[in-house]
Structure 1
Amino acid sequence: MQLSVATILQDSAARFPDRTALVESDVRTSYRALWQEVLAFAAELRARGVGPGDRVAVMLPNTSDFPRAYYAVLAVGATVVPVHGLLVAEEAAYVLRHSGCTAVVSGGPLRQVAEEAAAAAGIDVLAVRTDREPLLLAEPCRPDDIAAILYTSGTTGRPKGAQLTHFNLVMNAGVCAQDLIGLTPDDVVLGCLPLFHSYGQSCAMNAALRAGSTLVLTPRFTGPGALELLVKEGVTVFMGVPTMYHALTEAAALDPRRPAALRVAVSGGAALPVPLLERFETAFDTVILEGYGLTETSPAATFNQHTTGRRPGTVGHPVWGVEAAVAAPDTDRQTVLLADGEVGEVVLRGHNIFAGYLDDPEATAAAVVDGWFRTGDLGVRDEDGFLSIVDRKKDLIIRGGFNVYPREVEEVLARHPAIAQVSVIGLPDEARGEEICAAVVPRPGTEVTGEAIAAWARERIGKHKYPRIVRLLPELPLGPSGKVLKRELREICA
């Protein structure tokens, strides 16, 4: 049996050759043209020796070159490794080395970081080229072949490579397009979500192209800019994270224009406050469907669906072919399911569950227990089957839809010569959901300011990770075992 994510684009190019696949600024690319450009760049990759079994990184902004590179890597039978666009060179180099990439495709504002990372990893940087004779056919793949490796932050301070199969991604794109959003070739989807992120990659890009819809790309999101595109391009489906909904709602308060065609909005990446949901729906005269998922679940796992009902404040029901349950959170070696109404760890199983972490069998075994993926999130399911996420089992911070683990930031800050102790927490933030706060105990005899620490950190860690808030404290609140009491620390720093 053969199945490839590249088939998503190949099939739509055959069915809707003259329809617009991508819109980037004033440039419109048809499905026929996009597929030929993908096959042309695939020919370039093959000429450079890239083929089945290889891994190629893609470090590009939200431009048409991203889908060209993404699908070209898959068309030669290789595995694509999207690299987070906000990483600094040292972090990107770790991803390139750990994944064993043979090359990285980059361009635009990310090219310099990609070149530094590639030099450290000893590999080449390639630009997207479409001037070769296109391949006649894409390389066949098996459903269980690894299509993509997406790196997600880990509690060890180093990101883990989540391996997603062709089956995982093709199924998730189909479920998103058909069952959850009901996309058609007449839909126009605003693709402002980062395409290196599983949400933007699978739910926006893959799902839109699977349905033959038009994907409108914007390299940099702003509220006014997104509102302009919603109106100008006749967008029918908007997908975003709570940060984006906040920005759009603020923009709408200053601009009376509204997108007449907008029929539905989709929220994910972090919990959407109900008051914000209500303000957006009132301002734009539409409905928001909130969902839930993780990189390891391809990502869509649960959703407020038309068929099972919508309940604001929840993440709905499991998507087609997936089961969701709540398990006792303190049982690592077995999955003990809890009754409805009890709070526990959210667990998932189905076609969307990843194939494990790259070269990390221990982390994989800890994540998948008795066939259930342990999400690390605490939730509760009501008697009607609606799932609510109530807290996080780990100290994960979600800033603007991006996952940030405190320990990773703490390990960087601990290298600052003026810092004796540091603990990183998330503080509520209306615009970004959470903001990163570093509570710092300075070394005796040193003089340092919070602004200086934030500036130092910004040069050494991704732009989505460094602490915008730094609190200088005489000591950290500690429990009997010496563990930082983060709940008390949040009260101190708020």
Structure 2
Amino acid sequence: RLLETIHIPSNADFGVLTSGTTGMPKPLWRSESSWIDFFDEQNKVFHIDSNTKMFLHGSFSFTGNTNMILALLWAGATIVTSDKMQPKRWLSYIENYQCSHMYLLPTKLRLLIRFGRNTIDTISYIIAGSQTVDEALITSLQTMYPKMEFILYYGASELNYITYCSGHEWLRYPNTVGKPFDLVQVDIIDESIYVTTDYGICNIELPYTVGDKGYWESGYLMFKGRSGDVVNKGGYKVGVLSLENTLQNLPSIDEVAVIAVPDDIRGEEVAAFIVPKQGFTVSDIGNHIHKYVPNMEQPKYIQLVEQLPLTDCSKVDKNLLKEWYNNK
């Protein structure tokens, strides 16, 4: 019934799902060539060929999964996956099938680190999307997978892959999302990221922006988050991504997600849902926050959780976090 109300472009061959700001999946329409003609380029960057054995996890409603699986099949590679949200099982598959690659978002890579007990020498490349990355994550992955090269990419369902960098480049320029893929042009206009590419969805006007903010530093694209993704504390605007990056780097925090919540005095306040590192208490976390986070950006509410909830797209489910806050 939903599709009956939507106009499908005449040049569309298929649709992919994306989760909008409301959390309701919506279809984006693509031509077959908008993916296929880019497979060789992305496979070159990700070092994928017929000898590749890649582990990945998650729903096909995550466009990144669907695209990556088709690109693997295009290369004649082997796919190892699981329908279970069980990191210990993932680790056994990675070892038993001697996987050479992993494709997981940082939220799931942290789960592997949490449950991993052995080093795995077969992994040559770990590919991750541009969620919050920090030095501790990259260092821990390097310890657990000593022969791996970390590749971080930035992309969008509307635009395909945009930029990429290695773990070494990220450590040199923290919060970068790298340099553009070949055949992709990136411009900064009024602090917004605009992309010109032949590999986007049907009938978009180029250059195109999804509303992300950024700037250039030494030729690397530095990512500042989505426009409007702020907490307005009585006129003082707290950037959600920037605060999450700051908190993620504290020695007592393993994972964190920040949301805006209503406040009678300031209008909005900061609430932080935190997975603590082993051995640290809420008091430890509070002390680190007071020491390292500017006063106006410190969360008013802190909730410790065992694990952050994820959507089908493997991203933190902030709508559910808002429900958790409202039901506290």
Band of TM-score, shorter chain: 0.5 to 0.7
Structure 1 counterpart of 2:99, from 217, 225, 235: 235
Residue 165, structure 1, aligned to residue 31, structure 2? yes
How far off is 1:161 after superposition? 2.9
**C-alpha separation in 2, matches of 1:220 and 1:98:** 34
- Equivalent position of 1:345 in the other structure: 192
Q: 1:209 to 1:437 in 2, by over 3 A?
A: same
Structure 2 counterpart of 1:264, from 113, 125, 129: 125
**C-alpha separation in 2, matches of 1:269 and 1:196:** 18
Higher strand share: 2
How far off is 1:436 after superposition? 5.5
How far off is 1:345 after superposition? 0.9
- Equivalent position of 1:281 in the other structure: 142
Structure 1 counterpart of 2:48, from 183, 186, 201: 183
User: Residues 404-429 of structure 1, C-alpha deviation per residue, up to 9 Å, x if partnerless?
Assistant: xxxxxxxxxxxxxxxxxxxxx89847
How far off is 1:174 after superposition? 2.3
**C-alpha separation in 1, matches of 2:6 and 2:142:** 42
Residue ranges of structure 1 left out of the alignment (5+ in a row): 1-92, 102-143, 329-343, 357-363, 398-424, 442-457, 474-494
One-letter identity of the residue aligned with 2:196: R
Residue 387, structure 1, aligned to residue 221, structure 2? yes
Q: 1:214 to 1:159 in 2, by over 3 A?
A: closer
User: Residues 40-59 of structure 1, C-alpha deviation per residue, up to 9 Å, x if partnerless?
Assistant: xxxxxxxxxxxxxxxxxxxx
- Equivalent position of 2:325 in the other structure: 470
- Equivalent position of 1:325 in the other structure: 187
How far off is 1:353 after superposition? 2.0
**C-alpha separation in 2, matches of 1:209 and 1:247:** 27
How far off is 1:247 after superposition? 0.4
**C-alpha separation in 2, matches of 1:396 and 1:173:** 35
Q: 1:159 to 1:244 in 2, by over 3 A?
A: closer
Residue 373, structure 1, aligned to residue 208, structure 2? yes
Q: 1:394 to 1:272 in 2, by over 3 A?
A: same
Identity %: 16
Residue 251, structure 1, aligned to residue 115, structure 2? yes
**C-alpha separation in 2, matches of 1:382 and 1:166:** 35
The higher radius of gyration belongs to: 1
Q: 1:184 to 1:437 in 2, by over 3 A?
A: same
- Equivalent position of 2:63 in the other structure: 198
TM-score (norm 1): 0.46
How far off is 1:182 after superposition? 1.9
**C-alpha contact 1:264 1:287 (8 A) present in aligned 2:** yes
**C-alpha separation in 1, matches of 2:6 and 2:11:** 15
**C-alpha separation in 2, matches of 1:145 and 1:222:** 40
- Equivalent position of 1:146 in the other structure: 12
TM-score (norm 2): 0.68
Q: What is the correspondence of 1:55-454 to structure 2 with a 5 Å cutoff?
A: 94=2, 96-99=3-6, 145-154=11-20, 160-177=26-43, 179-202=44-67, 204-252=68-116, 255-256=117-118, 258-285=119-146, 286-297=148-159, 299-304=160-165, 310-312=169-171, 313=174, 314-328=176-190, 344-356=191-203, 368=205, 371-383=206-218, 385-395=219-229, 428=244, 434=257, 439=262
One-letter identity of the residue aligned with 1:350: T
**C-alpha contact 1:199 1:269 (8 A) present in aligned 2:** no
Q: 1:389 to 1:304 in 2, by over 3 A?
A: same
How far off is 1:354 after superposition? 1.6
Residue ranges of structure 2 left out of the alignment (5+ in a row): 232-239, 265-308
How far off is 1:304 after superposition? 1.4
How far off is 1:396 after superposition? 8.7
**C-alpha contact 1:305 1:317 (8 A) present in aligned 2:** no
User: Residues 159-195 of structure 1, C-alpha deviation per residue, up to 9 Å, x if partnerless?
Assistant: 5432221111112322221x21121211101121432
Number of aligned pairs? Answer: 257
**C-alpha contact 1:311 1:386 (8 A) present in aligned 2:** no
**C-alpha separation in 1, matches of 2:134 and 2:200:** 27
**C-alpha separation in 2, matches of 1:216 and 1:210:** 15
